[in-house]
Structure 1
Amino acid sequence: MPSSSKNNGVPMTKTGKFALGVLCSSILAACSLEPNQLQSTTTAHALAKPAVARSDAPGLSARYAKLRKQQIAQVDYKLSVTIDKSGDAFSGRVVADTQFRRNLLQPLTIDFAVGEVEGVQVDGKSVPFAYNGQFITIEPAHLKGRKHAIAVDYKHAYSNNGSGLHRFVDPVDGEVYMYTDFEPYDANRLFPHFDQPNLKAHYTLDVTAPKDWSVITSVREKNIEKNGEVNHWVFPQSKKFSSYIFSLHAGPFTVWEDDADGIPLRLFARKTLAEYVKPDDWFTFTKQSFEFFQKYFEVDYPFVKYDQVIVPDFNAGAMENVAAVTFNEAYVSRGEKTQAQRMRLANVIAHEMAHMWFGDLVTMNWWDDLWLNESFATYMANLSLAENSEFDNAWENFYQGTKQWAYGSDQLPTTHAIQLPVKNTDEAFANFDGITYGKGGSILKQLPYYLGKEEFRKGVSNYLKDLSYKNSTLNDFMGHLGKAAGKNLDAWQQQWLYQAGLNTIQANFQCDGDKIASLTISQTAPAEYPTLREQRTQVGLYNMEGGKMVLSKAIPVIYKGASTEVTAAKGEACPQIVYPNEGDWAFAKVNLDKVSVANMSKHINDIESPFTRLMMWQSLFDSVTDAKLPLDQYVSFAVSNAGSEENINVIRLVSSHLGTAYAYLNQVAMDDTKRTQLQLAIESFAWQQLQSAPAGSDAQKTWFGTFTGVAHTDKALANAQNLLRGELGIEGLVLDPDMRWNLIALLNRHLYGDYAQAIKSELEKDGSDRSQLNAIAAEAIRPQQEAKTLWLNNLLENRDAFKLAQLKYAASALFPTEQRGLYEANVERIVGALDEVNASDASEFVGTYTRLFPLNCSEQGVKQVSDILDSGKQLNPLLEKALKNRRYKNQQCLNMAAAIGNSAG
């Protein structure tokens, strides 16, 4: 890859001389003017001093983006790109037809990260320029008019880290595939341009590519010209949109086609994955989403066609490129999908489609509104599934997935207001988190209860109609909602969007005989985030009837402040359980009162509603992580009560909690005999549930995943090895390739049996890239210093020899919770690499490095991270955030250990 300090065209030393020459010429010209003309020219030169100087650092600042928006009124791009099968770089030419708001007084910069600039022309004439490896600079003297065609000829290396134009070689058949991924600031790794969301443009693309490839972008091609071994793909001009959602994908894909009420649909996957793709599911979910969104928004789909491209090595789940959405290959299972996996696929399809309207058609002005972009798609995807799909438990999945992510994130030291200033694109990248997606989506979910469902829908529709093809701000969105509902939302915005932190609510009640005498909702807030909020919830009253704990009454109420009396509850039957967020309307953590806790503990399996059981189980585990309920007591309760559970969502939740509990038990300080007993209880329970689950059921697959995460005794490991070899079978359990790798990783994690041969044998049968990545993880997880040394070398010294995906798999596997001793033996080396990593402009690698700091439940573990954070170093936002959260989790684990000790005492 070219050095980031490389300068093409005019060397940096000449650039200074060039600028001086312009200044001298201006002064000489001014000397021949009349006095009043001289004065105005001098003023102009005073204004020419840069108000916002752009630093040579990677990325883009909000301040500079604002200046450039003031410079540029309109821009459109003509882009020609040549890609091939074997090279390490691609070449291109871009012509930016640019209209300026006024004559330039400051240099113009064009974003282009770590490429090679071969020449710059303005209106067909070559001009001097400077290039620092991050952006091209053109002096105002060469842009004297209001309209200019600025052309750049360039080269750029293909990416191997999933950003920019990523190149992938399939290890099975040697075929090459390419795709782009740009958000928030990597579109300039495909072509030089003004890479900020509020400089929307039309794009006219042509591509020269190998003749057997498909080329995919935001529009369908208008012509393919054949020229020997290559084809020249010519595309018509696109609609107007931001460059981070422009795309270029290419390769010899397998393609399936369909139609959604006149909208052409295509689905692409690489050849060696095609046999596992189920296009009927993809197209069904796509059509259902189109049917729902076009009716809900009252705006026709704006981009003519809709392609979905399944790609390898993808860093995210999916990306909403205009009319050419990319999806992680993880959404393709090599075995039979569970219902939960099918729902996740339907959800992500709906999420990315929602962005076609909210994000692509109407786009945030700057990255401070990233949360609204993602939160809205998160909420709308779940609403689409709930109202127009086969999945009748969409909101239960939202609760146990998205909402728990949000609750967890909002209790971390790095929580932040949903709406906050974003100084630069590095901060934007760091803000892809549980607040941006989860909390924002959750508070949007409660808004229709507060405003009215139809009022909310109408506000959204009017917003999209009024601002199509434009940029918008939060105030635009909230203004449209408030107008549709006839409510002023200023106070709501202040409470929910500009204040961080999670509130806790609890119902407190008294009965007079068999009737409620009083019931109040109390609300508290953490000391560091003391805001008390207002929202609408339901209070659920539960009683035993006919052997079942049933909902006898649900009372809607708007609560606010420290205490709210629920007057409608007075006179109702005295409840055995009160749940103050019935139906999950509100965004709040729930504390159960003592009476409800006691009855819930006795009747957890008698609760009629699966959703209520789900919330009760979650409330129990929240008590564990809050160090209120000792971990050992939770484990005993779970293995005693979860065996009779039949609802798959509750099974998934409890099995996940038990896997987490097992990991904590590896770390917390406690009596070793007790630790051994508890871990054996979890292992035995998972194996028992695996064997007794209905053959071929989703529950069986769920318990298989739990078993491979908690098995550790010789007996359990022998069972795992025999399952892998086919010497032991469980009725209905069919091991797909990925499940086999789970077993292989388990054997390597404990150095059991022929663990090394298991990797070799599996790779001989399945040489796919997914298998190769799993093989890396299986090697890295071994409790051997030589394995740790090898992969730390690769991660910290030899990373250029590996794809980012390979490094991610290794980093994630290196230090499981029971290998704390090996982590301690290597932590000095990990910390020693921090300065180099911190200086990196590769955000995805910085995120990979943070995986090398695992849970370390000790005072020393807390101190190790504190020493870094307290050193005074200016840390990359992503790195700083990860370390703060790790310190918090380490301390949380210490608190949990103390709770076990207090319980034993």
Structure 2
Amino acid sequence: MIKTSKLMPPKLTAALLCTAILAACGQESSTLQAQKETTYVPVHRANISGLSEEYAKLRKQQVVEVDYRLSVNLDGTGESYFGTVHADIQFKKALQQPLTIDFAGGKVESVKVDGKETPFEYNGHFITVPILHLPNRQHAITVNYQHPYSNNGSGLHRFEDPKDGKVYMYTDFEPYDANRLFPHFDQPNLKARYTLDVTAPKDWVVISAERESRVEEQGELKHWFFPQSQKFSSYIFSLHAGPYHIWEDDAAGIPLRLMARQSLAEYVKTEDWFTFTKQSFEFFQPYFEIDYPFKKYDQILVPDFNAGAMENVGSVTFNDAYVSRGEKTQAQRMGLANVIAHELAHQWFGNLVTMNWWDDLWLNESFATYMANLALAENSEFTNAWENFYLGTKQWAYHSDQRPTTHAIQLPVKNTDEAFANFDGITYGKGGSVLKQLPYYLGKEEFRKGVSNYLKELSHQNSTLDDFMGHLGKASGVNLDIWQQQWLYQAGLNTIEASFQCENNQISHLTLTQTAPQEYPTLREQRTQLGLYRMDGENMKRFATLPVLYSGAKTNVEDAKGLPCPQILYPNEGDWAFVKVNLDSVTLKNMAQHINAIQQPFARLMMWQSLFDSTYDTKLPLDEYISFIISNGAVEQDINAIRLNARYLSFVYSYLNQIPVGKERRNELQQAIEDFVWTQLQKAASSSDQQKVWFDTFTNVAHSNAALDNAKQLLMGELSVKGLKLDPDMRWELISLQNRYLFADYEKAIARELKQDNSDRSKLNAIAAEAVRPSPAVKQKWLDNLILNRDKFKLSELRTATSSLFTSEQIELFNTNSERIFSALDQINNEDSSELISIYAYMLPLMCSKEGAQKLSDTLKEKQQLKPTLVKALKNHRYTSERCIKMGQALVKR
């Protein structure tokens, strides 16, 4: 699965004995685990939603084998669908306690065991069948049921396109929503085969893991029949249906289909989709030494999706936000190629071999994150893929790892409610980064061989982290016990700094110093690369790179002796290591003077990032940072560096809205940012990626009457910027900006745009534009909708409203409503929908004051029963508030 790109929001073992045994004798830890599972211990299942790890282990002891035959009736018009599931089950031995079958939020019509009506209990979360009716080791259980369609993107989601009235359906199950489609054992280590038939309107196509074997016409309906699938976990089973537009292609014998709803079909750039998909196949099959393990590969673009994409076997779903109604930038195209490669990597790592339980979910996502970037770097047009990884995913990881809610990569997951609680920058970014360092540590071919052996040996089975690490260790001959303990079971971000002395213009001594935060004192070992630079004419040239394996508090780099004395020394050149960098005083001085003379774009990118890190850590005052960007950033031509600087200008602009500095000084700094961004927008090459970056930044920082008037004239066609073409989504950015400041005819602007574009995207954009207005009545309306009337809205609509409800300059409006917002936390906490909980939690704005930070602390203290998602959000908001306060104090002192 790919999460959407925000800084947002998963087993800790007692020892590493299993890994040691693996390295010594090659036995798999999963075998040891299977032996332990033979001991039966009764487990009571509470009448609550979700599934506990403890009960899942018990049920794994009960069930040896299960296969499902599923019939579903989709009429396309009602509020519910009907289904029958027939489960052929083989038990290990006679049951010693009742059997439960997961099924959330539906209605059970009947249960039969071996064809006979059987009494059962159903509590809205699972079905219980008494052991009296299951006396043998093999039984067939049949359940007739119905279930409402979903409107929150999970389970079987129903969407009616406002553009043309056509209805589309799709499923999204990870981690524990497959049981919202049909009753079954919804846990990853009970893999099954699935035989499916579906009745649906005659103009629809039905998609699942297999291609249909036949379709029978039945008047206004068609009956679709699918052959039995291979064995896999239910969270990657799928059912999609609707009048999708279909494009077809082929990847060296593998049938490819791409699908989108009819109203978006004209915007789909099929050449990109199929090219990126074929390139990924070309890379992964020889890398893994395993042919694609399934029969076909469909990619379905769907609306209202809660994530970026989901790796269902043979029928991957993508958020149709990946379809742009204008021209994509190269970064957007790379993002699409990355998510396509990520989901395809899962077909081997995750689908063919699947984690035993959700504590290893991080490995599933981290591996796909690493492999997607590797595939792009080695087999695509995107030669700067690793720079993009550094700019996006890795910064997300660094940001997450410095917060008080940081955590070890590997954590226990007691139940399915916790599976996504720690699904964040640590899961994707840090996990992907530490996997990225392993080929440097073990050797590239050794790492690849270990991965291949792991996938071959455990195909169609479940596995654990120890299985994976054991295969890497065996292939490389390296004992990874210490590495695994340091990197996977310990939280926190280390910092390195290089110090050096020179004699006769040559290095006489060079030391790397490693530090760790007090709360997470682990010092780690990893391989990094030093980059050494000197001025040569007008250019700052890298004259040497030096690989270094460092560990402990200090590492003396003997190989550096005798090298020319550098003017800039960067201790993580090329981004080999996962570590924060402190620049030495010589480097900092020369970087400030010569950043635009540095020839390597990746090096400049990392130094621009280090500059912002210094500001965020309050070592460099905010006004000096802004001045430096304005003085030097205009010369920068590398698109990734421009994206980074533009991102942080928006960031510091929002902080300035609340930092307690004098009004005149605030206005001066914010106006300087606005003027700089507008100038860069006008100067950028016609129709370039830089132009689009600066346009997006302009809509974030424009606030003066002159800038708002320019925005209005751009929207109305009365002003133009050479080469800038406004697509529908860019127009909505300008409309939202007008509404944010109640400028000109902001209400009419929404109505005008909706009249010419009534798509679902426009309706969501209209909600955002309204919610952002600094009006007490508007805030009251959308808080009512979220707290009291949420059943009347789709989750996508509520998410859109909350993300726009309180911008950084609207803190007083938030304060007016804060008591109501915090009081409603108890009510939101009781929701079954983790997605709804998340959007409520992250509605809170920047609160850059001691009073705001204290309110967050008081809420955490008073509300001890809040779910992990809410606790995490509140702690992170408090951290952000405290960081903003410190940045403000550093500025005010000047």
Q: Does 1:260 align with 2:251?
A: yes
Range that drifts further, 852-861 or 260-269: 852-861
1:224 aligns with 2:215: yes
Please say if residues 636 and 642 of structure 2, whose CA atoms lie closer than 8 Å, have aligned partners that are also in contact. yes
C-alpha separation in 1, matches of 2:138 and 2:623? 71
| SS of corresponding position for 2:203 | coil
For residue 168 of structure 1, the aligned residue among 159, 164, 170 is 159
Q: Distance in 2 between matches of 1:598 and 1:49?
A: 67
Report whether the alignment pairs 1:670 with 2:661: yes
TM-score by length of 1: 0.94
**Structure 2 match to 1:71:** 62
Asked whether the equivalents of residues 670 and 901 of structure 1 are also in contact (C-alpha less than 8 Å), the reply is yes
Question: How far apart are residue 204 of structure 1 and its match?
Answer: 0.3
Structure 2 counterparts to residues 389-468 of structure 1, below 5 A: 389-468=380-459
Stretch of structure 1 that moved more, 830-839 or 154-163: 830-839
Q: CA deviation at 1:431?
A: 2.2
Q: Is the 8 A contact 1:48 1:106 kept in 2?
A: no
Q: Which residue of 1 aligns with 2:20?
A: none
Residue in structure 2 matched with residue 514 of structure 1 by the alignment: 505
For 1:759 and 1:230, the matched residues in 2 are separated by 40
Letter in 1 for 2:183: P
Q: Which residue of 1 aligns with 2:561?
A: 570
AA aligned opposite 2:491: A
Q: Distance in 1 between matches of 2:58 and 2:422?
A: 23
Q: Does 1:245 align with 2:236?
A: yes
TM-score calculated relative to the size of structure 2: 0.95
Aligned: 1:471 with 2:462 = yes
| Structure 1 position 149 matched with structure 2 position 140 | yes
The amino acid of 2:450's aligned partner reads: G
Q: Which residue of 2 aligns with 1:828?
A: 819
Matches within 5 A, 1:759-770: 759-770=750-761
Q: What per-residue deviation string (whole Å, max 9, x for no partner) do you get for residues 305-341 of structure 1?
A: 0000000000000000001000001111100000000
Tell me the equivalent position of 1:853: 844
1:336 counterpart = 2:331: no
1:590 aligns with 2:581: yes
Are 2:40 and 2:58, in contact at CA under 8 Å, matched by a contact in 1? no
Paired residue for 2:318, among 327, 336, 342?
327
Distance 2:478 2:335 in 1: 35
Q: Which has the higher contact order (CA 8 A, sep 6+)?
A: 2
Partner Cα separation in structure 2 for residue 579 and residue 90 of structure 1: 60
**2:515 counterpart of 1:524:** yes
Rounded to whole Å, the distance in 2 between the matches of 1:866 and 1:562 is 35
Deviation at 1:673, TM superposition (A): 1.0
Which amino acid in 1 is paired with 2:433?
S
Match of 1:288 among 270, 273, 279: 279
Secondary structure at 2:633's aligned position in 1? helix
For residue 504 of structure 1, the aligned residue among 495, 500, 519 is 495
SS at match of 2:673: helix
Task: Supply the AA of the counterpart residue of 1:416.
Answer: H
Q: 1:270 aligns with which of 239, 261, 283?
A: 261
| Cross-structure match for 1:10 | none
Contact 2:661–2:888 (CA under 8 A) maintained in structure 1: yes
Which of the residues 91, 110, 126 maps onto 2:101?
A: 110
Q: Deviations over 1:633-686 (max 9, x none)?
A: 101110111001111111111011101110111121112111101100110011
Q: Find the partner of 1:85 among 76, 85, 92.
A: 76
Q: Secondary structure at the match of 2:128?
A: strand
One-letter amino acid matched to 1:686:
V
Q: What secondary structure sits across from 1:828 in the alignment? A: helix
- Distance of 1:484 and 1:68 partners within structure 2: 34
- The Cα shift of 1:427 comes to 0.8
Q: Verify the 8 A CA contact 2:41 2:58 in the aligned structure 1.
A: no
In structure 1, distance between residues paired with 2:434 and 2:171: 32
Letter in 2 for 1:477: F
* One-letter identity of the residue aligned with 1:357: W
Aligned position for 2:772:
781
Contact 2:159–2:303 (8 Å) recurs in 1: yes
Greater shift in the superposed pair: 428-437 or 773-782: 428-437
Partner of 2:888: 897
More displaced stretch, 862-871 vs 817-826: 862-871
Other-structure match for 2:120: 129
Q: Please state whether the residue corresponding to 2:596 is helix, strand or coil.
A: coil
1:77-99 per-residue CA deviation (whole Å, 9 max, x = no partner) reads 00000012210000100011111
Which residues of 2 match residues 687-836 of structure 1 at below 5 A? 687-836=678-827
- Runs of 4+ off more than 2 Å: 47-51
Shift of residue 629, structure 1, vs aligned partner: 1.1
Q: Which runs of 5+ in 2 are unaligned?
A: 1-37
CA deviation after TM superposition for structure 1 residue 226, in Å: 0.3
**1:648 maps to which residue?**
639
| SS of residue in 2 equivalent to 1:729 | coil
Give SS of 2:231's match.
coil
Matched AA of 2:779: K
- Count of residue pairs brought into register by the alignment: 857
Query: Which structure 1 segments of 5+ residues have no match?
Result: 1-46
Q: Rg bigger for which structure?
A: 1
Over the aligned positions, Cα root-mean-square deviation in angstroms equals 1.0
What is the letter of the counterpart of residue 302 of structure 2? V
How far apart in 2 are the matches of 1:545 and 1:139?
82
- Measured against aligned partners, the alpha-carbon deviations of 1:81-126 in whole angstroms (never above 9, x if no partner) come to 0012210000100011111011000111000001000000000001
Aligned residue among 336, 344, 348 for 2:339: 348
> Match for 2:127: what amino acid?
I
* Aligned match for 1:361, one of 328, 331, 352: 352
CA spacing shift, 1:471–1:610, aligned 2, 3 Å? same
Are 1:48 and 1:105, in contact at CA under 8 Å, matched by a contact in 2? no
Structure 1: distance between partners of 2:132 and 2:228 = 31
Q: Aligned AA for 1:384?
A: A
**What is the distance in 1 between the residues matched to 2:184 and 2:157?**
19
Q: Is the 8 A contact 2:630 2:676 kept in 1?
A: yes
Which residue of 265, 270, 290 corresponds with 1:299? 290
Instruction: Tell me the CA shift for residue 50 of structure 1.
Output: 7.2
Distance 1:454 1:176 in 2: 49
CA distance in 2, matches of 1:538, 1:581: 5
**Which residue does the alignment assign to 2:19?**
none
1:872 Cα offset (Å)? 4.9
Residues 1:483 and 2:474 are matched in the alignment: yes
SS of structure 2 residue aligned to 1:415? coil
Whether the 8 Å contact between 1:830 and 1:852 is mirrored in structure 2 is no
